[in-house]
Structure 1
Amino acid sequence: MSTIRFLRTFLVVAQEGSYAGAAERVALTQAAVGLQMRALEAELKTGLFERSGRGVLLTVAGRALIAHAEKIIASYDQMREGLEQDGEIAGTVTVGSTVSAMGLLSNTVVAMKPRFPRLNVRLVVQESSGLAQSVIRGALDAAVLIEGTPLERQGLLWTPLYVEPLVLVASALVAKPDSDIKQLLRENPFLRFDRRTPSGIRIEQTLRKLGLMPQDFLELSSVSSIVDLVRQNVGVTVVPHWRNADWVNDPTLQVLPLPGRPATRQVGMLEHGRREHITTQIRLQMLALLARKA
């Protein structure tokens, strides 16, 4: 059903405020997103967006459509679920993830395909705070995200999956395995991870607790971008050591543990509960993959 698909895309555009941002999340080109939105406007015979610089703003009709679209999609998903055999792992669920955990989630879905051929898992990449809110609103059936603000809500299930330690990452040109971390932070520009995020807050708290005072140079919201700049010897950083990142074997990088008791961030899975018989299977498969890699 094209209209249902277009409504799903519309909700993502409304959240992102741009076709470009929505395109990344729904795995379409920006042009394809634009075509879907124009087709939806033609079908509804009303304008939904107004151009604003590089983004788009919702019209009055567009804002009104959000609640209707959410209800229509929820009803459609419930209808499909009702047509499935009782308890069968089949149908469509939407699961979100942070960039750092998408590899694990993708591998989980691939591993499940042979066992559950009628299961379709739609994957969405988003920041942790947005993922949590999407699960709470029911826009996502589950999400793999970073533990931040309290996630206890009626009907939601939070399961810790693994922890990632905070580490100092520097160019191999300026750091050795026995380098003094305080000296590295004192003598090199500091590339800081966004302090508005749970991980950024955790990094800031850890630096203060350890009495480490870096020379802030740049503040970015992408760990991968920060590490790329470190490779170019632009500066040093303190970031979570992504579970799927092989930084320790990268000859251009030096990864050093922080002094004292290791500071970590918790990665877990948040489930809405609406399709629990399916999201439970995804969670169990993910835990099994983690256990095999341990």
Structure 2
Amino acid sequence: MSEIRMLRTFLAIEKHGTMAAAADRMALTHAAVGAQMRTLERVCQRQLFDRSGRSIQLNDAGRSILEQARTVVAAYDSLLRGVADTHSIEGTVTIGATVSSMGFLAANVIKLKVPYPALKVRLTHGSSPELERQVRAGEIDAAVIISEPRTTTLPESWESLYEEPLVLLANPAVGPADASAASLLKRLPFIGFEAASLTGRHVTSLLRRLRVEVNPVLEMNSIAAIADLVRQNVGVSIVPSLRHAAWADDPQLVVKPIPGTTWRRHVAWYEFGRQPRATAIVKNRLLAALSRP
């Protein structure tokens, strides 16, 4: 429901004060938040923001629809919780995920056991291409995959969940806290992410644009394993900033933004063909967890 997501973003802007803060809270780019709000203004047939100053603020028209927006979002959440007798949702579905997104999927599936005790969700993991093949072959019901944004038509469905920017991971012992990402990449051994993968190709392209020649020490296809090697001070790496990893609170890791990078890894929900109602419940749970201000 794109309209509900727009309203959640609108409410996040009002709650957190700026579009930039709302973008961070909703795991969206600033451009995506701006595009959502322009669409919302077209739907409402009025301007909802004052764009004349240095920062964009809600105008009188925007403030006038706040309560209605809250009511609509609350009604939708209530619908998801009580659309039917929860005990009538039963059966088994199988959902796949990449290793780096499995924690997020599993945590939300576990929470579904309370409202839907008769629902059984089996989880499996694999690479994005393999999971997508399994979904299309009917071997699993849906998957959380890594993929570039795409426009799909039935029977294929692709829906963005969240985005992860590329960052530099380093050990705090490597030098001054204000050392630049480029200087660390030139000076220290480099742990590469699987070069043949979508993310690996973008990392290679970024290094080329930065004109940085790294000293590769090894290549791996697990972001968690790379982070662990960085903790052991084996080297530095460029990887997606995992949304649910809490690296910023890890005393053994330094996370640095990389100037010049605009690409973000897209984590998406993928399904194919008509799906059982239980699959939609899992997807709605993930979307609700992500879009709640």
The TM tier, using the shorter chain, reads 0.5 to 0.7
Higher RCO structure, 1 or 2 (CA under 8 Å, sep 6+): 2
1:102-113 aligned within 5 A: 102-113=102-113
Question: How far apart are 1:159 and its partner, in Å?
Answer: 0.5
Question: How far apart are 1:206 and its partner, in Å?
Answer: 2.0
Alpha-carbon spacing, 1:176–1:158, altered in 2? closer, same or farther (3 Å): farther
Deviates more, 1:230-239 or 1:174-183: 174-183
The answer to whether the Cα contact below 8 Å between 1:193 and 1:221 also exists between their aligned partners in 2 is yes
Alignment RMSD: 2.1
C-alpha distance in structure 1 between counterparts of 2:251 and 2:159, whole Å: 35
C-alpha distance in structure 2 between counterparts of 1:234 and 1:105, whole Å: 30
The answer to whether the Cα contact below 8 Å between 1:175 and 1:254 also exists between their aligned partners in 2 is no
Look up the match of 1:202: 202
C-alpha distance in structure 1 between counterparts of 2:253 and 2:114, whole Å: 39
Question: How far apart are 1:150 and its partner, in Å?
Answer: 6.0
The answer to whether the Cα contact below 8 Å between 1:132 and 1:143 also exists between their aligned partners in 2 is yes
The answer to whether the Cα contact below 8 Å between 1:191 and 1:219 also exists between their aligned partners in 2 is yes
The answer to whether the Cα contact below 8 Å between 2:167 and 2:258 also exists between their aligned partners in 1 is yes
Question: How far apart are 1:152 and its partner, in Å?
Answer: 4.2
C-alpha distance in structure 1 between counterparts of 2:197 and 2:123, whole Å: 22
Alpha-carbon spacing, 1:153–1:136, altered in 2? closer, same or farther (3 Å): farther
Look up the match of 2:280: 280
The answer to whether the Cα contact below 8 Å between 2:172 and 2:252 also exists between their aligned partners in 1 is yes
Look up the match of 1:290: 290
Question: How far apart are 1:267 and its partner, in Å?
Answer: 0.3
How many percent identity over aligned positions?
40
In the alignment, does 2:94 pair up with 1:94? yes
Question: How far apart are 1:153 and its partner, in Å?
Answer: 6.8
Question: How far apart are 1:276 and its partner, in Å?
Answer: 4.5
User: Normalization by structure 2: what TM-score?
Assistant: 0.66
Partner AA of 1:91 in structure 2: G
Aligned residues: 207
The answer to whether the Cα contact below 8 Å between 1:271 and 1:279 also exists between their aligned partners in 2 is no
The answer to whether the Cα contact below 8 Å between 2:100 and 2:242 also exists between their aligned partners in 1 is yes
C-alpha distance in structure 2 between counterparts of 1:151 and 1:125, whole Å: 24
Partner AA of 1:210 in structure 2: L
C-alpha distance in structure 2 between counterparts of 1:175 and 1:89, whole Å: 55
Look up the match of 1:147: 147
The answer to whether the Cα contact below 8 Å between 1:206 and 1:263 also exists between their aligned partners in 2 is no
Question: How far apart are 1:236 and its partner, in Å?
Answer: 0.5
Structure 1 portions without partners, runs of 5+: 1-84
User: Normalization by structure 1: what TM-score?
Assistant: 0.66
Question: How far apart are 1:116 and its partner, in Å?
Answer: 1.9
The answer to whether the Cα contact below 8 Å between 2:191 and 2:226 also exists between their aligned partners in 1 is yes
Look up the match of 1:58: none
Alpha-carbon spacing, 1:289–1:176, altered in 2? closer, same or farther (3 Å): farther
The answer to whether the Cα contact below 8 Å between 2:146 and 2:267 also exists between their aligned partners in 1 is yes
Alpha-carbon spacing, 1:189–1:153, altered in 2? closer, same or farther (3 Å): farther
Alpha-carbon spacing, 1:95–1:176, altered in 2? closer, same or farther (3 Å): farther
Question: How far apart are 1:291 and its partner, in Å?
Answer: 2.5
1:123-272 aligned within 5 A: 123-148=123-148, 152=152, 154-272=154-272
Alpha-carbon spacing, 1:193–1:253, altered in 2? closer, same or farther (3 Å): same
Deviates more, 1:143-152 or 1:95-104: 143-152
C-alpha distance in structure 1 between counterparts of 2:213 and 2:152, whole Å: 35
Structure 2 portions without partners, runs of 5+: 1-84
C-alpha distance in structure 2 between counterparts of 1:133 and 1:151, whole Å: 18
Partner AA of 2:141 in structure 1: D
C-alpha distance in structure 1 between counterparts of 2:178 and 2:166, whole Å: 17
Question: How far apart are 1:163 and its partner, in Å?
Answer: 0.3
The answer to whether the Cα contact below 8 Å between 1:169 and 1:236 also exists between their aligned partners in 2 is yes
SS of structure 2 residue aligned to 1:284: helix
Question: How far apart are 1:115 and its partner, in Å?
Answer: 2.0
Deviates more, 1:195-204 or 1:134-143: 195-204
Question: How far apart are 1:125 and its partner, in Å?
Answer: 1.2
CA deviations 1:31-52 (Å, max 9, x no partner) are: xxxxxxxxxxxxxxxxxxxxxx
The answer to whether the Cα contact below 8 Å between 2:149 and 2:160 also exists between their aligned partners in 1 is no
CA deviations 1:107-161 (Å, max 9, x no partner) are: 2212222222221111001111211111111111000010149684751210100
C-alpha distance in structure 1 between counterparts of 2:186 and 2:175, whole Å: 13
Alpha-carbon spacing, 1:273–1:117, altered in 2? closer, same or farther (3 Å): farther
